[in-house]
């Protein structure tokens, strides 16, 4: 094994630490930076089946896990200054017809739910505002079934440290013009509240039927987009960074879509970095890249091979998605922040080490590994 490490030294410490490999539902990304996302873990667990039970338990204080049974319809779920909360489906078929207003909230998990809306107006299914932080939306089916909403997920007004993972986004048909899925920062003039924030990870989502654009549309933030499947045929564009937005686009699968990634309105302060593993199948239009060095990713994460993303995401996205074979989950990246980063490797994994130097990320080495079946975890120690 030969390692060329010009920027920092990586020491392989095999047989040091053994533990289960990260589960599909383990939170990774920006939501884990600067604090943990545990939701209501360790607190009271309650199952609810009526609107009154749902809203009263959300209003409580302390750690709590709310499990939704069956279908509950609520006009609007207000989560102002809520913290340490998990809302999750109690089983397959758990559904909320609701819109969520998540304001100044922290450490919130919403997962394993079918989510649509009772009615609309200018509301979104998820409106995260006023500094909401450390939020994780995971394994949900999110749609505007009645074509009445403004959008599906908006993160504006100083939101930060958010992970959006393993969700399916879609619209029922193409009769509504405003089929815009996800907005990050609401205005070109919002730098006063959004600059230095809006740090969001978007991974393993399925951008599906009848979405026109905003997958996502972003301003000001540092957005990491990896291992997503884009199949929204007839769209305008997929990923559209605008004013001062920095976007890293890695190992995604774009199929039958237009304009996979563009500088929105040709804004010169937007930045896009891509890897060499994004898949473009029967796509048209622009694939803009460049205009800056983009941010260094500060956390550890694994990449699925781009060619496998369609299969993996179609099987795994949405409530209680079916995990697929992980044998080709085979790239591991060590972010620049932790001095000691654990890397969980499976038998036969191939992984690529990345290290940070002067604020940028450089590819250091590509090392084929053969991990013994009885010792499936290897810990990498990063000596900076």
CATH number of 22-325: 2.160.20.10
Mapped onto helix, strand or coil, the DSSP state of residue 199 is strand
Rg over alpha carbons for the chain, rounded to the nearest Å, is 20
> Kind of pairing, strands 9-13 and 379-383?
antiparallel
Helix, strand and coil in the chain, % to nearest 5: 10, 40, 55
- Residues 140 and 245: their CA atoms lie apart, in Å, by 26
Residue 214 known to be catalytic: yes
Is residue 30 within 8 A of residue 300, CB to CB? The reply is: no
pLDDT tens digits for range 330-381: 455 655 433 333 344 444 444 444 443 334 443 333 344 444 444 444 444 3
- Among residues 253, 251, 243, 233, which one has the least CA distance to residue 331? 251
Q: Where along the chain do its domains lie? A: 22-325
Q: Is the dihedral of CA 263, 264, 270, 275 positive or negative?
A: negative
Is residue 203 within 8 A of residue 229, CB to CB? The reply is: no
pLDDT of residue 64: 98
pLDDT of residue 121: 57
What is the token pair recorded at 29? 């990304």
Which segments of the chain have a pLDDT < 50?
1-24, 326-330, 336-384
Is residue 117 within 8 A of residue 149, CB to CB? The reply is: yes
- Among residues 164, 217, 169, which one has the least CA distance to residue 190? 217
- Residues 47 and 61: their CA atoms lie apart, in Å, by 16
Is residue 108 within 8 A of residue 102, CB to CB? The reply is: yes
The catalytic position among 67, 111, 179, 214 is 214
How many CB atoms within 10 Å of residue 135?
A: 27
- Among residues 123, 127, 102, which one has the least CA distance to residue 39? 102
């Amino acid at each position: 094994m030969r390692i060329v490490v010009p920027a920092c030294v990586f020491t392989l410490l095999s047989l040091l630490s053994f533990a289960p490999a990260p589960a599909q539902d383990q939170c990774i990304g920006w939501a884990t930076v600067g604090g943990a996302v545990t939701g209501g873990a360790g607190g009271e667990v309650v199952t609810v089946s009526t609107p009154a039970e749902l809203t009263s338990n959300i209003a409580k204080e302390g750690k709590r896990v709310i499990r939704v049974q069956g279908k509950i319809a609520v006009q609007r779920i207000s989560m102002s200054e809520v913290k340490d909360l998990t809302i999750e489906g109690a089983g397959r078929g758990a559904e909320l017809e609701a819109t969520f207003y998540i304001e100044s909230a922290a450490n919130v998990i919403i997962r394993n739910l079918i989510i649509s809306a009772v009615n609309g107006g200018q509301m979104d299914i998820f409106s995260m505002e006023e500094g909401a932080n450390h939020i994780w939306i995971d394994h949900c089916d999110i749609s505007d079934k009645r074509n009445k909403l403004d959008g599906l997920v908006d993160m504006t007004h100083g939101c930060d440290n958010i992970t959006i993972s393993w969700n399916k986004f879609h619209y029922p048909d193409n009769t509504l013009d405003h089929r815009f899925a996800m907005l990050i920062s609401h205005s070109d003039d919002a730098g006063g509240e959004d600059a230095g924030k809006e740090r969001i990870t978007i991974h393993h989502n399925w951008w599906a039927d009848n979405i026109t654009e905003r997958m996502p549309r972003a301003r000001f933030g540092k957005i990491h987009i990896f291992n997503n499947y884009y199949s929204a045929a007839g769209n305008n564009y997929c990923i559209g960074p605008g004013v001062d937005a920095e976007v890293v686009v890695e190992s995604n699968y774009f199929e039958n879509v237009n304009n996979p990634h563009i500088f929105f309105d040709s804004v010169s302060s937007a930045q896009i970095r891509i890897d060499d593993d994004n898949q473009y199948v029967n796509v048209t239009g622009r694939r803009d890249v460049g205009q800056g060095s983009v941010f260094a990713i500060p956390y550890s994460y694994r990449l699925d091979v781009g060619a496998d993303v369609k299969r993996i995401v179609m099987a795994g996205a949405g409530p209680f998605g079916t995990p697929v074979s992980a044998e080709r989950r085979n790239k591991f990246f060590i972010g620049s922040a932790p001095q000691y980063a654990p890397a969980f490797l499976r038998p036969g994994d191939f992984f690529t080490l990345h290290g940070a130097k002067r604020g940028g990320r450089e590819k250091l080495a590509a090392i084929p590994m053969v991990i013994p079946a009885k010792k499936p975890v290897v810990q990498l120690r990063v000596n900076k």
